[in-house]
Amino acid sequence: MPHRWPPVSSKCSHLLHGGDYNPDQWTRTPEVWDQDMRLMKLAGCNAVSVGIFAWSSLEPREGQYEFGWLDAILDKLAANGVSAILATPSGGKPTWMARAYPEIRRMQADGQRQQPGGRHNHCRSSPLYRQKCQQINRKLAERYGRHPALILWHVSNEYNNGDCFCDGCLAAFRDFLRQRYHNDLDQLNHAYWSAFWSHHFPDWESITPVDRSLHGLMLDWERFKTRQVIDFFKAETVPLRELTPDIPVTTNFMNNHAMLDWWAFAKAVDVVAWDSYPAWHETGDDVAVAAGTALLHDQCRSMKGGRPFILMESVPSIPTRGRIKKRKEPGMHRLSSVQAIAHGSDSVLYFQWRKGRGGLEKFHGAVVDHAGHEQTREFREVAEVGALLARLDGVVGTSIQPQVALIQDWENEWALREGASVYLGENIKYRQECQAHYQPFWATGVAVDVIDQTADLAKYRLVTLPLSYLLRNGFAEKLRAFVAQGGTAVMTCFSGLVDESDLCLLGGAPGHGLREVFGVWEEETQNFFPHEKVGVACVNGNPLKLTGTYPAVDICSVIHPQGAQTLAVYKDQYFAGTPAVTGHAFGQGKAYYLAARLGMDFLLPFYRRLCADLALPKAIPADLPAGTTAQLRTDGHTDFLFLSNFNKTPAVVPLDRPYTDALTGETVTGRITLERYGVRILKRNGPASE
Ligand code: GLA
Ligand code: ZN
């Protein structure tokens, strides 16, 4: 049932608005701190993340602490009604520490330690670094644990999967393997297929993760790094959990990269937070960027069973990445900020509050520019979002409960990158494929959870699992039960090829019993260059009532129905006339196999038909104009409807009933026009959305 989740902190029941705040860079000019407080009020900021890279300001020399500046800042924040998301500083090692203790620096494959400097590059196994982190974290928790401004711990920053090949990491890796393979080296050698090129491992000590020719080994190395990062994170939180059990703990994920298994990491945090930097205006297709970003927001919400997440970083204007860096055009800041809320964020936070005078990020977008005042477009647009969020207290904690799930799995992605690239090369495009199977729902206003193969499928009615090359243990059985019990599944070519060790499954794909579920055997997959033509034509009178011919791209498989019905066939290539899309009744459910990689022109009508057949709930009944979306958050009593237009031209959305504009209170009915990059937030009271 729809319900309301508690706010991230009982101390603040508003949507959070603010960002990364680095007053430690301005200790020589503390008058700037007072300007910050004035400007935060003007911008409608109610929360800032402090101290993320402040270790050398907190402990300038070993064992000598300087908390005066942070005392002053936290007091000022509290006095001004701004909450503090207090960071632990492990993301950036102080220079004195990196020089005094080389063991905290990562070791490269050539056996050299990295130089001091940079960030996010500490060894995760170093007992000394863990101890140093715990010491400083304990000091922070002792000193600020009961500070009225403190609402949340921001542990470290953007943990990554960088390699460290030091003895400590290798020993920990071998322990991890001993556990995983129950101390049985034969099992490990089998899983790695190590007879290949004579790589048989005679003992645990000879296992080093530097040889990319063994895919199973590389997969385990990725698994280990996730495990080790979570272990490190947990070590960091020991003093926080002990001294401040009431203050929730998070860290900012980067789930736009298949680095760590963020799904596994999510279990260790109290609330999921992530940093979102979409490539607005960079690709020529803001609509696709919007759908891709929506997918990632949905993923963050799904990681904690639907609990609202925190948008921890976003850029008010111009990022520092991208080949050609684009400022957000007028309207995009408001639209992209509301997008996060529409998909389940309870915050809009930025990197960064104020531009520093020096360093790599001195030109990175910020609420406060070097001009130092509020008369900038950047500031005005942020202040506009601040004023808007302040009117949406009712949204805090509202939920989204999709009946559709997209499976985007990290272990599968790692395996595709390592193990499948030898077959598909550049045609893998896993993230694009996932987005292609997400966008039709987004464009229809049907809510989607984005889950991995470990998630429970029982609460969904439709599950789509593009390019599911690797099947994790137990997943195929779960999917089979899901379909048998009435669920609808959609899978695409090159799925069900390998097991958790990236060992090819024998007997024909898709393996692990999925041939029976989908009623097809996939014999071979062909790769295509962009100039090659492959048409896919819908079969007359097919039960989905699909018509027309559509271009397939990149990869197509030759499949043989084994019980499935052919819905579309290939028109070109040596496999012309054979099935490209099939449907199979299995148990009480249906299983569709898309042997060709098809684009939105096919996927939109295909999924719209499935949604209609299953009568899946839509945010509004009407078909939405291209480039727009409608998302709904509800507590079961009040529905908040978010209508967004990612087009550069206006779009008209027809409403089926009257709503109230959540910002102005006016009644809204009939056809409403969303301007270029426009957004409307409407609400209505009543029973839970139908
Ligand atoms: C990341 C980091 C921030 C900052 C921004 C710049 O998200 O967490 O410290 O470097 O990128 O885009
Ligand atoms: Zn190490």
| Superfamily classification of domain 404-613 | Class I glutamine amidotransferase (GATase) domain (3.40.50.880)
Closest to 11 (Cα-Cα) out of 146, 148, 145, 155: 148
Closest to 502 (Cα-Cα) out of 406, 366, 601, 411: 411
CA of 172 to the centre of ligand 2 (A): 9
Q: Do domains 404-613 and 628-685 have the same CATH topology?
A: no
DSSP class per residue in 557-601: EEEEESSPEEEEEE-SSTTTTSEEEEEEEETTEEEEEE-EEE-HH
**Whether 282 is catalytic:** no
CA of 105 to the centre of ligand 2 (A): 7
Residue 543 structure tokens: 């039960």
Asked whether the beta carbons of 554 and 528 are under 8 A apart, the reply is: yes
Active-site residue, selected from the candidate residues 59, 158, 236, 433: 158
Identify the pLDDT of residue 688.
47
Q: Which of 50, 253, 256, 275 has most ligand 1 atoms within 8 Å of CB, for mutation?
A: 275
Work out which ligand 1 atom sits closest to the CA atom of 321: 12
Identify the pLDDT of residue 687.
56
Alpha-carbon distance 304 to 272, whole Å?
7
Asked whether the beta carbons of 671 and 652 are under 8 A apart, the reply is: yes
Residue nearest to atom 4 of ligand 1 (CA): 351
DSSP class per residue in 131-152: HHHHHHHHHHHHHHTT-TTEEE
10-residue block means of pLDDT along the chain (690 residues)? 90 97 97 98 98 98 98 98 98 98 97 96 98 98 98 98 97 98 98 97 96 94 98 98 98 92 97 97 95 98 98 94 89 98 98 97 97 98 98 98 97 95 95 98 98 98 98 98 98 98 98 98 98 98 98 98 98 98 98 98 98 98 97 97 98 97 97 98 74
Identify the pLDDT of residue 211.
84
DSSP class per residue in 431-463: HHHHHHHHHHHHHHT--EEEE-TTS--TT-SEE
Work out which ligand 1 atom sits closest to the CA atom of 157: 8
Asked whether the beta carbons of 232 and 124 are under 8 A apart, the reply is: yes
**Whether 313 is catalytic:** yes
- Topology classification of domain 16-163+231-395: TIM Barrel (3.20.20)
Helices (H), 248-285: 262-266
Alpha-carbon distance 448 to 462, whole Å?
10
Question: CA angle at residue 12 from 11 to 16, to 5 degrees?
Answer: 145
- Give domain limits for the chain: 16-163+231-395, 404-613, 628-685
Neighbours of 138 (CB within 10 A): 16
Alpha-carbon distance 203 to 637, whole Å?
62
What is the CB < 6 Å shell around ligand 1? 157-158, 275, 277, 313, 319-320, 351, 361, 364
Q: Which of 20, 120, 158, 259 has most ligand 1 atoms within 8 Å of CB, for mutation?
A: 158
> Which residues, other chains included, contact 235 with Cβ-Cβ below 8 Å and sequence gap of 6+?
130, 133, 134
Identify the pLDDT of residue 322.
76
CA of 499 to the centre of ligand 2 (A): 29
Work out which ligand 1 atom sits closest to the CA atom of 277: 12
Closest to 36 (Cα-Cα) out of 355, 300, 451, 511: 355
The domain 628-685 is classified under which CATH number: 1.10.1370.40, 2.60.40.1180, 1.10.357.10, 1.10.630.10?
A: 2.60.40.1180
